[in-house]
Amino acid sequence: MDWKSHFETQIDYQIWANQILFESLSGLEPSALTRPEGLFFPSIHHTVDHLHVVLDLWAARLAGRDATADFHTIRQDDWSRLKAEIQQSLRTLGHWLGDRGEEFIDGEISYHRLGCALSRSSVRDVLVHLMGHFVHHRGQISAVATRLGAPAPEMDFLFYVRDLEAAEARMRG
């Protein structure tokens, strides 16, 4: 598998894992999503909002646009809209990446860090970072959610692969 296909798969996995997490969270009282629970970003909602902000920030940087972010303010207050928007932003990034050539994945980008310093990073490193960032924060959210009584979601990559295999078997079926 080439790097481009790898990252397209990783983006699809992120969408799948987010959905598994969101389904697990659906049994919690709405107030559990917004109250402080000891996360780096105080609440579950704020942490998912942070993921969306970071996704949009890196998508802009990958496209060669300068972007800023405010990690202290929740950008999308509506939980249902936030879930839909983050999933759509991931799909958009996947389609955008699909339109790039393999040489893009092998390249570098320049961008201004949030402190205004100019930086350079390889596209592969940025995409690895972004995918890991999702896994990191979903793990934090999952730990809090299970403590609050939500079912423990199986979000590991191999569960995604097995889910795809099962879907393919049903289609052949």
User: What does the domain layout of the chain look like in residue ranges?
Assistant: 3-172
pLDDT surpassing 90 at residue 60: yes
Q: What is the pTM of this model?
A: 0.95
The 10 Å Cβ neighbour count of residue 124 is 16
pLDDT the model gives residue 115:
77
In percent, how much of the chain has pLDDT > 70? 100
pLDDT in tens, 18-57: 999 999 999 999 999 999 998 889 999 999 999 999 999 9
d(CA 106, CA 145): 38
pLDDT the model gives residue 68:
83
pLDDT the model gives residue 114:
81
Please give the average per-residue pLDDT across 113-139, as a whole number.
94
- Sorted by sequence, the CB contacts under 8 Å of residue 167 that are 6+ apart come out as none
In percent, how much of the chain has pLDDT > 90? 90
pLDDT in tens, 80-111: 999 999 999 999 999 999 999 999 999 999 99
pLDDT surpassing 80 at residue 1: no
> Secondary structure of the chain: what % helix, strand, coil (to 5)?
65, 5, 30
CA-nearest of 146, 132, 153, 123 to 11 is: 132
Top-tier CATH class for 3-172: mainly alpha
Please give the average per-residue pLDDT across 129-134, as a whole number.
98
